[in-house]
Amino acid sequence: MSPLILAYLALASALASGVLALGADRYPNLLRYGSSLLLGFCGLFAILAGSWALIDETHSTDQLALGLPWLKWHLRIDPLSGFFFSIVGVLVLAISLYAPGYLREFTHQGHRQSLSVLGLFTGLFIFGMLLVLLADDAFVFMISWELMSVSSYFLVAYQHEHAANRRAAFLYLLMAHVGGLAILLGFGVLAGFSGSYTFDAMRAMELSPTWASIAFALAFFGFGMKAGMVPLHAWLPEAHPVAPSHISALMSGVMIKVAIYGLIRFVYDLVGDIQWQWGLVLLIVGATSTLLGVLYALLRNNLKRLLAYSSIENVGIIFCGLGLSMIFIGTGHTVLGVLGLMAALYHILSHALFKGLLFLGAGAIAHATYEYDLNNMGGLIRRMPQTAVFFLIGCLSISGLPALNGFVSEWLTFQTALQAPVLASGVLRSIIPVAAAVLALSAALAAACFVKVYGVAFLGMARSRRVARAREVDIGMRAGMGLLAVLCVVFGIFPSTVISIIDAVPMMLLGHGAPSASAHGWLWLTPVSPKVASYSAPLVFFAILVIALISYLLLRGEAAKIRRGPAWDCGFGSLNSRMQYTGTAYSMPIQRIFAPVWDIKEDVEETRNAVQPLQTDGIRHQLQALDKSWSRLYEPIGSLVLAAARRIGRIQTGSIHTYLAYSFFTLILLLWVVT
């Protein structure tokens, strides 16, 4: 018995859930209960397999007689893949609880899309993600990577009756393949020098610094594109939100983590010889992604799209952690490199949990109200009290507030950045603090962003009738969100324990753990040494609780009576829900300050009174804040490609003879090149 057996069981359950769903068009319950049950098993097995590999600090390998005649499938589970395996497992488990309730509306009469398609590709998508994590040669890696991309394409395109969704799906497929091509070429460089596609051979080989940098650049481009780094990110907020919400949770919560897994595996494990310049690139791209991601998120009013933009921000934070780690490793400070890697890994874990939770929450709101637009929500805390609690935990975590999990990773990233004075290069010493400043700004903006989300959606008064009549979602959906919410709290309160477990990953990759981080027991987190910095999440959590409780108890008594009365309306009479701040109004100050970041189109139409021209009858206000990467990057490249295609199109005569001649001459040319 080894972790691999459990991993196989997880793979098999994912595949079986997809296959079982084939009958869902006739028997919808097959998808809602059968497939979900199998996904639950898949999640459990994945968690078990992953944590086993992680705790045991061993790796087990296997070869399957599949694939090419001369290249069997090499599979392997080690602490690094085990870590990601568990994360995928947790999310899949939450989804399996959530899906039966969420999918109910999809099974209603008159729903036009095929349920079989949804179930099949969900299964295949999870299968693909898990297989990527197990791959131990470039061939399996690419096969499963493509399986993951293509099956998720069908999920993005699932609600294809809207033209916007079709366009998003096409863009997604296109970008996935441009990225996939870069990854393939990156593996090509490694395989070309090692003479084999297996990861073992790639690990064993030494690359010249130039070729290593080329391989890094290709891998960074490919994996970074999938992870949604700025400026290549524009496809992500189009594609992730249009899938059904539990799929969005998987895509934003774990699929982009799989891309980051690819990057870590490629750079730390396969290439191995890390240069600090790579870290600098990662740090700069990461800091830019963080700031732009959160600013773009702030101005969105579509909840799911806002969450997708915030994923870009969080990928930026992860990149910053990895970048710091590479800078320190490349300059010979391995211990600090471990710290940076740890910060990145912790944020990967945190982000998977809270972003999954928030997407499931958005799905729950949509399920109860059919609304995605924040400006139509409001007051949901009274209609959906439990969802409101879970969503609040997600919002507080993502805002990086103590003592929840988002704060731990942010704190670790700051601690790593503060070690910059050990570096010899003055440029690095001054760039790293600036990057830390950008991170601080983004963290504060993220807090503003999620206060806006929570305040507008859950607090105040309902802004539309459907929202005013919302009902709490069923127990399964609440359980799915509850699981993730509880984990957010647990991973926030016990960081030292978690870190001593994750320690196996840097141990395997760099031969060095971070023993000092948890050296002072489960109560204390001391990344470098207790003199430099310490944080005790359990004590913080309980101290705040105790102080709040004491003040509450002391103030009970005669004076504690509470009278309810109407809110202050300045004496003008009934307040209504249209007088509240909307999402747009809430973010207006920040929009004004950072105006150059967006392409802002503001349109004000004023209708004057015909009789008295000084009197205004009505005002129409339209505000569009567009992502600049569309007009600056995507559209120019798009029109360039179109123009090039038009030129090349000239050689397409439409006659078979010409095409045969082309093939013939190409063959001759190739033969000449080869010989």
Partner 1 sequence: MIDWLLALAQTLLFISMAPFLLGWIKRVKCHAQNRAAPSLWQPYRDLVKLFRKHTVLAERASWIFRATPYIVFGAIVLAASVVPLVALDLPNAAIADVIVLVAFFSLARCFTALAAMDIGTAFGGMGSSRDMMIGALAEPALLMAVFTMAMSASTTNLTEAVTYTLNSGLVLRPSFIFAMLGLMMVAVAETGRVPVDNPATHLELTMVHEAMILEYSGRHLALIEWADQIQLMIYMVLIANIFFPWGIATQLTANDLALSLVAITAKLMLLGVLLVIWETVMAKMRLFRVPQFLGFAFLLSLLGMLTHVILETGG
By CB under 8 A, the residues from 599 to 618 that bind partner 1 are none
Cβ contact 254:355 at 8 Å: no
Q: How far is the CB of 599 from partner 1 (least distance, A)?
A: 21
Can you name the residues that pair with 621 across neighbouring β-strands?
604
Question: Nearest-CA neighbor of 137 among 206, 61, 219, 45?
Answer: 61
For 11-63, what is the HEC assignment?
A: HHHHHHHHHHHHHHHCCHHHHHHHHHHHHHHHHHHHHHHHHHHHHHCCCEEEE
343 by Cβ neighbours in 10 Å (0-12 / 13-18 / 19+) ranks as buried
Calpha distance 458→160 (Å, rounded): 30
- What part of residues 331-390 is at the interface with partner 1 (CB under 8 A)? 378-379, 381-382
Kindly state whether residue 588 participates in binding partner 1, applying the rule CB under 8 A: yes
Question: Nearest-CA neighbor of 84 among 60, 119, 114, 49?
Answer: 49
Q: How far is the CB of 567 from partner 1 (least distance, A)?
A: 4
Kindly state whether residue 479 participates in binding partner 1, applying the rule CB under 8 A: no
Q: How far is the CB of 80 from partner 1 (least distance, A)?
A: 28
Name the one range near partner 1 by CB under 8 A: 134-142, 176-184, 549-557, 601-609: 549-557
Cβ neighbors of 376 (< 8 A, separation 6 or more) are: 463, 464, 466, 467
Count of residues touching partner 1 (by CB under 8 A): 85
Q: Which is nearer to partner 1, 141 or 454 (CB)?
A: 454
Calpha distance 276→51 (Å, rounded): 31
- How many beta carbons lie within 10 A of that of residue 32, not counting itself? 23
Kindly state whether residue 571 participates in binding partner 1, applying the rule CB under 8 A: no
Kindly state whether residue 129 participates in binding partner 1, applying the rule CB under 8 A: no
Of residues 117, 540, 600, 623, which one binds partner 1 by CB under 8 A?
Answer: 540
Calpha distance 77→324 (Å, rounded): 27
Name the one range near partner 1 by CB under 8 A: 70-78, 273-281, 483-491, 589-597: 589-597
Kindly state whether residue 592 participates in binding partner 1, applying the rule CB under 8 A: yes
Cβ contact 145:181 at 8 Å: no
Of residues 1, 65, 163, 560, which one binds partner 1 by CB under 8 A?
Answer: 560
Kindly state whether residue 572 participates in binding partner 1, applying the rule CB under 8 A: no
Cβ contact 270:203 at 8 Å: yes
Q: Which is nearer to partner 1, 191 or 295 (CB)?
A: 295
- What part of residues 407-426 is at the interface with partner 1 (CB under 8 A)? 407, 411, 414-415, 418, 420-421, 424, 426
Which SS3 state, helix, strand or coil, does residue 623 take?
strand
Give first-to-last CA distance, the chain, whole Å: 50
Calpha distance 518→514 (Å, rounded): 8
Of residues 1, 68, 163, 555, which one binds partner 1 by CB under 8 A?
Answer: 555
- What part of residues 192-231 is at the interface with partner 1 (CB under 8 A)? none
Kindly state whether residue 646 participates in binding partner 1, applying the rule CB under 8 A: no
- How many beta carbons lie within 10 A of that of residue 622, not counting itself? 9
Name the one range near partner 1 by CB under 8 A: 18-26, 231-239, 559-567, 638-646: 559-567
- How many beta carbons lie within 10 A of that of residue 584, not counting itself? 17
Q: Which is nearer to partner 1, 211 or 414 (CB)?
A: 414
Kindly state whether residue 573 participates in binding partner 1, applying the rule CB under 8 A: no
Q: Which is nearer to partner 1, 55 or 550 (CB)?
A: 550
Of residues 117, 366, 401, 501, which one binds partner 1 by CB under 8 A?
Answer: 401
- What part of residues 502-531 is at the interface with partner 1 (CB under 8 A)? 524, 530-531
Binding track over 444-463 against partner 1, x by CB under 8 A: xx-xx--xx-xxx--xxx--
Q: How far is the CB of 483 from partner 1 (least distance, A)?
A: 22
- What part of residues 144-173 is at the interface with partner 1 (CB under 8 A)? none
